Amino acid sequence: MLYSFLEMSRAAMLPWRAAANMTRASLRSPLNPASETLAGRATAAAADLFESLTRYYGKPDWELSPVLVNDQPVDIDIETVWSKPFCSLLHFKRDRKALAKARGIKVSELKDRPVLIVAPMSGHHATLLRGTVEAFLPDHEVYITDWVDARKVSVAEGRFDLDDYVLYVREMITALGTNPHVVAVCQPGPPTLAAIALMAEDEDPARPSSMTFMGSPIDARKSPTVPNKLAEERPYEWFRDNLIQTVPAVYPGAMRRVYPGFLQLTGFINMNFERHVDAHWNFFQHMVAGDGDSADRHRDFYDEYLSVMDLTEEFYLQTIEDVFQKHKLALGEMTVEGRPVRPDAITDVALLTVEGENDDISGIGQTQAAHTLCSNLPDGLRLDHIQPGVGHYGVFNGRRFREEIAPKMKAFMAEHHVQRS
């Protein structure tokens, strides 16, 4: 009922949003004398703020600019190289001729290392990792998992749970066939480690060259944060009975049971409520003052932040139970379709863990736990990095990621690249 009520509320707001847009356009017209008055600017700013707070935010575009290689622009084309109902694998294909020219080499000499970024399936779209992708584009072949919003997947496509996630990741690694360097950001840490453990146990020649886990709840018992504590304090039944909704008929996934993105977003906002209120108040003031650059930066951030996706009921609830309540991977009890997951089977896939000093989502030690689980991995194939002064988002995006974390990751990948198949 809550989901349907939200959709009816959005529909009811359409006339008001139209009026706000008309007011904003009128008061910002150079032909309107009021546009240069304080009252006119304040009213236009209020209309703009109202519109942004009541808008439906769809999936953002990637909007990638040409990557600069030796100060020469190289165009990017996004292509789908693998697809299933709940995920597509995207390749950020660079113009090879322009890339070779920028490097002063022949096209046949281009042999950049492949990087598979496993994006979170935790409420936001893969575009949240735009900065992560951009950091690797100049010198790597970059791929990313583009998880599909559950409300857009017909119930005829069946279920999708945590086991399916693991199998999807394994299939995508295998589809690349190039022993890629796998980077799991936040939520996909446990299922990605599970997928690689299965590949290692099978001696799969397609297993990756390296695996990097960034701010991941490999063992959520370490330095528990507010989300970790909430998951443990509430019984499984509370999540099932209070957070699962039915997709309304207006979407392709009508009647699918999901954990709605708007509930996930509400939880994130409540964690830092005052900060978001201040940000919108500053947005209003910037528009009144005519500070378009600051207002545009606010819009860019919130266009991404407020765009959310639904998760299937079975995936969300299994993640809550297995990862955050029973800690199955950390305790050696995780299975995939009944098969035990054994991280100690990994002996030749290099391991890098990255954590943020101020991470309030995955506390210090949660990601490092991967080193303990991969007990048969030689010391020469391990590296742990704690980035000072960054929170969860700063682990994979922002200035310190670009200048300090990404170079360390690239050096690690260069040192441990192999070709098995």
| Consecutive 10-residue averages of pLDDT for the chain (421 residues) | 63 60 66 66 57 65 90 94 96 93 88 94 86 94 96 95 97 93 96 97 95 96 88 90 88 91 64 56 52 56 70 95 95 96 97 94 94 96 95 89 95 90 60
- Give residue 24's pLDDT: 64
Q: What is the dihedral of CA 371, 373, 378, 380, to 10 degrees?
A: -10
Q: Can you give the pLDDT at residue 59?
A: 81
Q: Which two tokens mark 365?
A: 């030690």
Give one DSSP letter per residue of 364-416, joined into a string. Answer: TTTTTHHHHHSTTS-GGGEEEEEETT--TGGGTSSHHIIIIIHHHHHHHHHHT
Two structure tokens written together for 179: 């022993």
Look at the alpha carbons of 196, 201, 203, 204 in this order and tell me if their dihedral is positive or negative. negative
pLDDT for residue 268: 58
Nearest to 155 by CA among 317, 307, 314: 314
Fold of 67-236+314-415: Rossmann fold (3.40.50)
pLDDT of residue 197: 98
CA dihedral sign, ordered 264, 270, 275, 280: positive
Tokens representing residue 100 in the block: 């070779």
Helix (H, G, I), strand (E, B) or coil at 212: strand
Whole-Å CA distances, 236 to 103, 228, 242, 246? 55, 13, 10, 19
Range(s) of the chain covered by CATH 3.40.50.1820: 67-236+314-415
Q: How far apart are the first and last CA of the chain?
A: 52
* pLDDT for position 315: 96
Q: Residues 162, 195: contact at Cβ < 8 Å?
A: no
pTM for this one?
Answer: 0.84
Spell out a b/e string for 153-169, using b for 16 or more CB atoms within 10 Å of the CB, else e: beeeeeebbbbbbbbbb
What pLDDT is recorded for position 283? Answer: 47
